[in-house]
Structure formats: C-alpha cells, structure tokens
Structure 1
Amino acid sequence: MQRRHFLSLSTLAATAGGFQNVFAAPDALAGWRQYEVVTKVNVAEQTALSRLWIPVPLATLDNYQRTLDVNFNAPGAESARMLTLPGSDVRMVAVKFADAGAPQSVEIVSRVATRDRAVDLGSSGHGGSTSATSLRPYLQATSLAPLDGIVKETADRIQAEAGHPKDTVAKARAIYEWIVENAKRNPATAGCGTGDVSYTLTSGNLSGKCADLNGLFTALARATRIPARDVYGVRVEDSSRGFKSLGKSGDISKAQHCRAEFYADGHGWIPVDPADVAKVMLEEQPGGLPKDAPKVRAARAMLFGAWEGNWMAYNTGADVRLPGSNRTEGFFMYPQGETANGRLDSLDPAHFAYTITSRKLA
C-alpha cells in the first residue's frame, strides 16, 4: 500500500492550529531564502510491527521561517499521517508498518522559506505584547530542566554577580555572557547532547553541545522568571557570515542544531545562541580560538539578538509524547522509531538509517 500526503499553503490555512497563507501576495517571498529539505528514513531491522515518528518543520516561527509545503511518501505502510500534537507546535509524520516483508521506509520533502533575523535591542521596542497566558508554558519546568535546586541557585548567583539588573534584556544578557564565559563545547558528546540541565551543572566541567548549552540558557532564564524556549531544528546552508563551523549544506543528516529564544515586552521573542559561540571557539580553526579572537567576538555579539537564516526550525516542544507509543521524548529533533524488538537508536545508523539533504531553491 502506498500512502501520500501533500500539504500546500492553502491546505495549511485550513488545518487545526491556525496556519495562515502568509505568502498570498506575489512579492511576499521577497527577501526570503527558500530551501528544499528531503528526509529519508529506512528501518533496517524490519519486524511485523514498526513505527516511525519524523519531525517536519513548524508552520511559522515569528519573523524567521514559513513552511510552504510538506509532501511525504511511505510505501508499504499500514498507516501514515501528518499531525500536530495538541497544544503545541510539534508537527510530525507518524507511520505504522505491519508487514515485515514490505518496504519500511519514508521520504519527506519539505519546502521552507527563512530569512536573517535580528532584534534592535538598542531601541525601546516595537510595542505590543503577548498575553501572560500565552507565555506561561515558557516559564514552566520540564523533565530535563527543573527550575529549583542547583538551577535556581545558579540563576540567582548569575543575577547577583551582574548587580541584580532590573531590565529583562539585561538579565538575559547576564545569563548568556555567563554561559559563554564558563561553558565549553564537548566534541565527544553524542548528537546534540541530552539537554539534561541538572547534569550539565553538576558534571563538574559545564560542557556539552547545543541541546545542553542552549537548554541551560532556557532553564536559567525561566528560573529568573524570563519566558524562554528551546527551538529544535537543522542547519540547511553554509554560513554567509564567514563562519565555517556555523553552517551545513547538502548532506545535513548530522547537522541538527538547537537554538534558544527569550521574551521581553516591547521586543517580543529575542533569538540567542550561546552554544554556537562555543562551537566557533572549538571548531572554527584547528586548535580552537581564544575568547578574544575576532571571530569569537563577532559571534558573541551577533548571537545575542540575531540568527542567520541558514537553519530550519522543527518545533519548540518539550516532553513530547509520541502518539501510539508510551514513549515521551525530552525534545523532538531526530527521527524516532521502534520495532517489535524495542526502541531504535536515532544515533545508530546501522539499525536505523536516515539521511537529510538540503538545497537552496532559486
């Protein structure tokens, strides 16, 4: 059996979740970059029952990303559907296979538009605000990021060392600068890290990768009563800002990357990425770079308040319950799967092979 599903922009407009046809005007894509991202997943360990859950890009992200269409094909599947988890922006293709002799693979083609995003933090803000009810989820603890104990103690210490700033942006900057000064990227960390904030703070070396370090920013911000969220996605193009380490094109199967945002009245959601500052220090040139190197200083300045548009966002979800399974994922950035023999390891290509490729569209 072959299952096909295509969501055009007009279809998204009628989908639960309020996706809007934001590109109705012919010139609406002016200044935006368009990418085609192809995800192929193959279950090598085929059994009579297999399930896959594959993230697809969120419909829209502030003034940064718009999803134009998603098209998927799952030959051999008993069922395949694209869905949005209730009360979240987590979208996925969920597939069930029930024949060990049939193909157990999925191909997803997504087309997205992105653009560089920067917030003028020197201004008084653009006015407008988001309701306290809408922001409440971004002040809550999660399974990976408790807001008490060492997290709260660290957050309070950072603000005390910064002189107890009153302004939200200044408070968030204190957290960002503390992470840049004290944390480091650990190349031995598997994938993007676990995102376990308590472990990061108690491990003794304050290191990890993007899910660890940007997840730390989000937790410390929330513990300071600043709404914040992790945004999970994948790099889709080389950096045009001169950073060899901050981009990837072509085969992006291992280019997953978590970013972060915090909310301030008058400015809205403000992008940050202290983990990528650590990445520049470690990877930009052989042997690494010191904190006072020009490229590190440039990254440090840019990544508090701005993102380059060479990355695609999947979702901002936390503690994601996979439909049809009793599994809950702390975050959802990789394809997930299970067979009759148990869970498949997203970081084990021998048994759970997938590829993700990207190309820029004219």
Structure 2
Amino acid sequence: MTTVRRSFLKNTAAAAMAAALPALGFAQAPAAPASRRNFAPQSGGWRTFEVTTRVDIPKPEGVTRVWLPIPSVNSDYQHSLENGFSSNGTAKLVQDGQDGAKMLYVEFAASEAKPFVEITSRVQTQGRAMDWSQKTAKAEEADTLRYFTRATTLIPTDGIVRKTALAATQGARGDVEKAQKLYDWIVANTYREPKVRGCGEGDIKTMLETGNLGGKCADLNALFVGLCRSVGVPARDVYGIRLVPSAFGYKELSGNPASLKGAQHCRSEVYLKGYGWVAMDPADVAKVMRLETADWIKNTTNPVVAPVNKALFGGWEGNWMAYNTAHDVALPNSKGDKLGFLMYPVGENAAGRFDSYAPDDFKYQITAREIKA
C-alpha cells in the first residue's frame, strides 16, 4: 500500500513562532549528565523540541487501530505547535470530547501486512518556579474551578479520600496551607514502588483502603490531586513525558532523548487564589528518595532530597512535555473501555487491546530532538 504523507494544520496561533518541521531523523545522543547539584528550576529560557513517536505492528490481526497522544497543552509553560506524520493507514487528528486531549487516530485495513505510523510534534517548554511573594495571577473562571474539583472514575472525592484529606489538612488556614499539608502528607506517607508497571493506574480509593501507598507517578500524584479536590482545592494531573537530561544532574529526573521508552511522567497542578495554577510534583520527590542513590533515602532533610522537595512545591523543570490533563478518556472508534488517562500509545486489533506498558511487544519507540536557535 502506498505510504500516505500529510501534515496537520497548526494547533494554535503559537505555532507561528516555529519554523517548518525538518525531515524526520534520529534523535541526538543524550549529553553526559552533570554532577548532581542544587535543584532549582526557574521560569524563562524557552526550549524547542521535536518529539517523534513511531508504532510498528509486526503481526497484524484483522483491522488494527492506533491512538497516539499528542501535546495539546498551551500555557505559560508550554506552547504546543505543529505536528507532521507519515503512515500507511488512514489517519486523522481527533480529540476526547470531554477534556480536549488531542491524539492521532490511525486505522489500518486487515489487508495491510506491515502497519506503521510515525508522528513528530514540535513544542516549546520552560521551567516553572512560583514567586510566593507575588499574588498577581488572574482569577480562573468559576466553572473551570468547579470542573477541577469533580470526582472521576479513579479519583473519588468522598469517603476515605475526603476523610484522609481532612485529617491531613487539620488546622490549615487557606488553600496554600492546605496544598502544602497535602503535599507533605504524600511525601511522608507514600513511596515509589519500582515494581509497579508503567506509571501506575491511579486508583486512589484502593490505595487508601488497602493501605498500600506504594506506586509511581500516576498513583502518587493522582492521590495528591484527589486529596486536594476532596477539600475544595482545584487540582489536576498533567500527563506527559521527560525529553532530555535534567540540567541539575538528577538521573531519575532525566530523559534519554535517543530512547524515551519508560520516560512518561505525570505531574500535577493546584489552583491557589492569587497565584493561579501552580506546579506540584510530590511523586518525583518519592522517586528521588527511592532511586536517586544506591540507598533508599527515608527523610527529606537529606541534601539530595531537600532541594527537590522544596522546588517541586511550586515548580518543575522544563525538560518535560505535557500531553494533556484528561481523565476517563473515550478513544474514538475504540471497542475497549475508557482509559483512566492518556499518556501512552494505545492500539487494538481483532484480538483486543495491546499492552501499552510493553513497548517491546506492542512495538513503539519515542525519541526527542532539541532545536537550537
């Protein structure tokens, strides 16, 4: 079948800031990591990246469908620009009707012997760091704030979730103190569990009911979001992927641009009056505590952990790209269940849905390339 080549219309007006996509190629080799030093991300210094995802279906069975998340966040920390793709299937840009998560949907005929799709997205990112001395953010719309206090399938806001949050925030005055107490509760009571597949499932009610508070980013940050929502603090997960090494030398907070297998990472945000949407990432504190050194660090005063714990309440590093903030995602034309979130390539054929957490079986690879000015 003849390969189809197209490009999408630019996602937003921000795309005018970027030049046309160059020819697709191999990602640059990762730079040697710097020695670990004080972790202090700052806003400013926009960086431009091209992120390429390729899926190959080695053994097609009947009609095959693939959904690839693409960056759909435009904010003060990310500009989602244009996308270009090639495939031997029928492809189109679609989005989830509830949260607006954008994706490339590709359908391959049963007669296609070697289905493939490759998409390159261009984004600009920068770091974030909250200046707590300034309360100048514009107020968010009331409907938006209500939306981000709602319950979802995996993030209920009543029962044990609310009970836990009320106990953790006892004595807090205002939303900043509530957020700080809940952030500290996550860091003190949960832990990174390397054996969890992918980024975890984010089933926070089960975590609390069983007392099993080990997990990965989609578990720990979802728990933080749910606790915040349950006490009236708007919060949301932000699903994305690390692209390049950390500028601060932290290996566990880095991505290898030549192979981003397993680099998916969920962050979070809370809305705080006067400050707007504020970056949070207690799950990465847990990751540094468990994996950054040979020994599992059990306290936040350790010099490796302390700067990360401080900075990730109100900031994050711009070596990461956001896909979306969507929950309960219905994949267009899918015969499977809704997804709790969309952060990985997803595929289905006549035998059912592929395992997105096994990129060596469901053949996909993700690479990144930084575009220097």
TM-score by shorter chain over 0.5: yes
Post-superposition offset of 1:24: 4.8
- Provide Cα deviations, 1:303-337, integer angstroms capped at 9, x if missing partner: 00001000000000000000002431000000111
Post-superposition offset of 1:213: 0.2
CA distance in structure 1 between the aligned counterparts of 2:287 and 2:73, rounded to whole angstroms: 28
1:258-273 map, 5 Å: 258-273=266-281
CA distance in structure 2 between the aligned counterparts of 1:263 and 1:5, rounded to whole angstroms: 39
* Contact 1:6/1:71 (8 A) holds in 2: yes
Count residues in correspondence.
Answer: 344
SS at match of 2:13: coil
Post-superposition offset of 1:51: 0.4
The amino acid of 1:152's aligned partner reads R
The amino acid of 1:81's aligned partner reads K
1:260-339 map, 5 Å: 260-291=268-299, 292-326=301-335, 327-339=337-349
The amino acid of 2:359's aligned partner reads P
- Provide Cα deviations, 1:177-207, integer angstroms capped at 9, x if missing partner: 0110111000100000011001221232311
Post-superposition offset of 1:59: 4.3
1:15 maps to which residue? none
Match of 2:79 among 53, 58, 66: 66
Post-superposition offset of 1:85: 2.3
Moved more, 239-248 or 330-339: 239-248
Moved more, 169-178 or 30-39: 30-39
Identity rate of aligned residues, in percent? 43
CA distance in structure 1 between the aligned counterparts of 2:344 and 2:262, rounded to whole angstroms: 10
2:91 maps to which residue? 80
TM superposition score normalised by structure 2: 0.88
- Alpha carbons of structure 1 residues 55 and 191: separation in structure 2 relative to 1, 3 Å: same
Post-superposition offset of 1:7: 3.0
- Provide Cα deviations, 1:99-121, integer angstroms capped at 9, x if missing partner: 34432111011111101111212
2:256 maps to which residue? 249
2:49 maps to which residue? 35
1:5 maps to which residue? 6
1:16 maps to which residue? none
Post-superposition offset of 1:127: 4.0
Post-superposition offset of 1:343: 1.1
Flag the structure with more relative contact order, 1 or 2, with Cα contacts below 8 A and sequence separation at least 6: 2
Matched, 1:51 2:65: yes
* Contact 1:44/1:350 (8 A) holds in 2: no
CA distance in structure 2 between the aligned counterparts of 1:127 and 1:42, rounded to whole angstroms: 45
Match of 1:21 among 14, 36, 48: 14
* Contact 2:235/2:270 (8 A) holds in 1: yes
Unaligned runs of 5+ in 2: 20-43
1:354 maps to which residue? 364
* Contact 1:119/1:306 (8 A) holds in 2: yes
SS at match of 1:83: strand
Post-superposition offset of 1:87: 4.0
TM superposition score normalised by structure 1: 0.91
CA distance in structure 1 between the aligned counterparts of 2:294 and 2:281, rounded to whole angstroms: 22
2:32 maps to which residue? none
SS at match of 1:215: helix
The amino acid of 1:88's aligned partner reads D
* Contact 2:149/2:234 (8 A) holds in 1: yes
The amino acid of 1:108's aligned partner reads I
Post-superposition offset of 1:23: 5.1
CA distance in structure 2 between the aligned counterparts of 1:91 and 1:241, rounded to whole angstroms: 31
SS at match of 1:348: coil
2:41 maps to which residue? none
**TM superposition outliers: structure 1 runs of 4+ over 6 Å:** none
CA distance in structure 2 between the aligned counterparts of 1:286 and 1:92, rounded to whole angstroms: 39
Post-superposition offset of 1:350: 4.6
CA distance in structure 2 between the aligned counterparts of 1:295 and 1:122, rounded to whole angstroms: 26
Moved more, 95-104 or 292-301: 95-104
Matched, 1:104 2:115: yes
SS at match of 1:187: coil
Match of 2:236 among 202, 205, 229: 229
CA distance in structure 2 between the aligned counterparts of 1:68 and 1:22, rounded to whole angstroms: 4
